[in-house]
Amino acid sequence: MKGFKGFNKQLQCTSNGKLFQYEIGKTYTEPTASLCFKGFHFCCNPLDVFSYYSPANSRYTKIDAADVSDETTKEDSKRVAMSITIGAEFDLRSLIGEAVKFVFSETEKSPPGCSANSATTGKFAHSATTGNYAHSATTGESAHSATTGCSANSATTGKFAHSATTGKFAHSATTGKFALSSVSGKNTIAASLGVKGKAKGTKGSFLVLAEYGEDRAIKAMGIAIVRGKIKPDTFYVLKDGKFVESK
């Protein structure tokens, strides 16, 4: 089974109560696997890794898992396996792209109601879901995405393709130019990684923004938590590496 895993900056994470060191390309095994207790944990939905490893100080890789336990959790797409191979590392922009692919792949097989994913492609093709774990994703210019519900993530790619979520652990991410990302709920992350992107959140949310130079190369990355000088329910842009309120 393929999936995604988060680590700290040293490519470490807690395994069986201990800090475990990983290396790209290596395979690791354990004799047993029990969700939240033993074995190697990962997420099927790329955006779910944000709930465990914030973009503020983390790294992410693809993984291949074997001998995966049948156990699942109600909160998100976390799984556990007896064997895991650490694949290629990728950045936040690539992570969001993978999230869009994931939701599209899940849409056809998702049942109505809770966990009913929605995905669209094309200019002005909007997507919206309501319900716990009901993800939403779009690709295309002005193709917006919105979700309501616990752990109901939203991801978009495309110019003016906005993303919004309400709900605990419901992350929002965009990669398009002029794209807005907003979240409302506890333990949430709003990431807007396109040119002149904006992000906002509620108290305690994390905001992730990118700043580009005239050559469209990334000039700076910024991560902030909504508290103190960073106001709730206010869109911010990244200017000269600093968070500035958007007018």
pLDDT digits (tens, 9 = 90+) for 2-36: 999 999 999 999 876 788 999 999 999 999 999 98
Q: In the chain, where are the structural domains located?
A: 2-90, 121-245
Whether residue 189 has pLDDT greater than 70: yes
Question: What does pLDDT average to over the chain?
Answer: 90
pLDDT value for 245 = 97
The span from the CA of 196 to the CA of 6, in Å, is: 27
Mean pLDDT (whole number) for 231-243 = 96
pLDDT digits (tens, 9 = 90+) for 148-184: 988 899 999 999 999 999 999 899 999 999 999 999 9
The span from the CA of 24 to the CA of 47, in Å, is: 21
Split at pLDDT 50, 70, 90, the class of 240 is very high
pLDDT value for 24 = 97
Whether residue 59 has pLDDT greater than 70: yes
The span from the CA of 162 to the CA of 155, in Å, is: 9
The span from the CA of 140 to the CA of 134, in Å, is: 20
**Residue 33 · residue 40 · CB < 8 Å:** yes
**Residue 201 · residue 218 · CB < 8 Å:** no
Split at pLDDT 50, 70, 90, the class of 124 is confident
The span from the CA of 205 to the CA of 70, in Å, is: 32
pLDDT value for 231 = 96
Kindly state the tokens that stand for 122.
Answer: 């094309």
Whether residue 113 has pLDDT greater than 60: no
Mean pLDDT (whole number) for 107-135 = 77
